[in-house]
Amino acid sequence: MTAITKYSRHSLAILAAILIAVWPLPGTIALRYTLLTLGGLSSVYIIIKNRGTIFTAEFRYVWILMSFFIWLIIHLVLLSSRFDQQLYELKGVWLRAFFSATFGIGLGLSLSQIEDRNKSDMANGIIIAGFFGLPLIFFLRYAQEIYITGNWLHANFFTQTYLSKTPVVVFGSLLPPLIFVKILQEPDGKKNIWIATGVVGISLVMFAHYFSNTKNGILYFMIMLAVFAIKLFKSRKHFANHTASKSSMILAVIALALISYGLISHIKKNTAWSEPWADFKIAVDIENNQYWKNSSKYGLPTNEHGLGVSETLYERVAWMVAGLHLIKEYPLGYGLLEHSFSALAKEKWADFNPKHVNGETRGSTHSGWTDFALGFGVPGLALVLIPFWASFFRAYYKHGFWPAYICWAVPLISAIYLTTEVAMDYFFEFLFFITALFSILTIKKSNHAQQKQ
């Protein structure tokens, strides 16, 4: 192994960790460009060194993913609705997405070739540290606000750190499964370290979700916690060997109590949790309940109990349903990531107005996958979802840290991107990075990933 190869492997993990930590942070576009450029160029070297692998059948899902960029060019040349805007996105977000995918390929090849357990753990640990970025930055920024103002409680604090709740939902939700997998898989000697680390990490994530008031984030957090509890209970060795130290157990109990209190408080103060099914049935009927079209013209509907529906839940569902209707009529897409929905909705519904009564303009729905299909059609969506879910099915039959995490992350990310407004540049940059990474880590050449660690 050459020195430059060793350097590339270590540097890629560090670059990836920094990138994951700052990806959703406002004002970091120059740093993100730099990290993506360095990661992409380093990955090109690794890809060239492994050129024999990239032309094998196992690599086919990576080629499917990368063919999306060919589809982008075809769409621009032959199906363009707004050529200038599409070209602007192509030179911006999609160029960064291409570098992100290249970075993911190089990182995946690098990780899959580390055969030494200690070196593999070190590289994985560096990447996991990157996922601590958002919840840790959020907590430190909140602590700074307490110090400056002298007040302990700050409502809607996400606006001062990440501008919206969406980054907290996406990047905050990806840390708990990493910790859960480590706790379930680590040998007894290292388990205490990951229990203590897990208590800190999960508490930080819950803190970010609670003070951002993210209903999606809380929901997925509760589901993941329940799945982890079931897996932990089934793995009786975690109890029989008494692997957790008393101090770790005390910290775990304290964290669980605080998390439970936070969950209960969150549910009590959010009306969206009161009548979700009744509100959902009203929201899907977009023809008879048209508040979603024009909030200044139509009134907020009431549910079957005579109560006003939750505006948040209603809008999420109604806009998604409207988007699905448009996908049927425009299966090849409009061509834009952020504004395809509003453009197509105006063509179909004459009374559609994307501006809400508060002046906010919505060019997209609350569903990332819906917006993606509206922008780039069913073919574009398929070119991403096929390799993404192929990595899940291939990982399901493998052992090791990354296959286990992939089995957690793919359904989680799919659900988040379905129910969250992620039609923004860096969310899809990250998606192409993680899809390429997962696709590489599940190819047969990754022998170390097939062995039980």
pLDDT given at position 38: 94
Asked if 79 and 135 count as a contact pair (C-beta separation under 8 A), the reply is no
Q: How many degrees, rounded to 5, is the angle at CA 396 between CA 390 and CA 401?
A: 110
- Mean pLDDT computed over 69-86: 93
pLDDT given at position 356: 59
Confidence of residue 361 (pLDDT cuts 50, 70, 90): low
Q: Write the CA distances from 445 to 5, 112, 146, integer angstroms.
A: 18, 8, 51
H-helix or E-strand containing 117? Answer: helix 117-131
- Mean pLDDT computed over 296-309: 82
pLDDT given at position 159: 66
- Mean pLDDT computed over 300-309: 81
Asked if 104 and 435 count as a contact pair (C-beta separation under 8 A), the reply is yes
Residue matched to tokens 């982008």: 72
Q: Which of 52, 90, 87 is nearest to 68 (CA)?
A: 90
pLDDT given at position 447: 40
Confidence of residue 144 (pLDDT cuts 50, 70, 90): confident
pLDDT given at position 234: 73
Which range has the top average pLDDT, 137-141, 255-259, 293-297? 137-141
Confidence of residue 257 (pLDDT cuts 50, 70, 90): low
Asked if 297 and 353 count as a contact pair (C-beta separation under 8 A), the reply is yes
pLDDT given at position 273: 55
pLDDT given at position 117: 74
Confidence of residue 173 (pLDDT cuts 50, 70, 90): very high
Q: Judging by beta carbons within 10 Å of its beta carbon (0-12, 13-18, 19+), is residue 334 exposed, middle or buried?
A: buried
pLDDT given at position 449: 37
From 66-80, 150-164, 178-192, the region with the lowest mean pLDDT: 150-164
Higher per-residue pLDDT: 353 or 395: 395
pTM of the model: 0.89
Residue 55, beta-bridge partner list: none
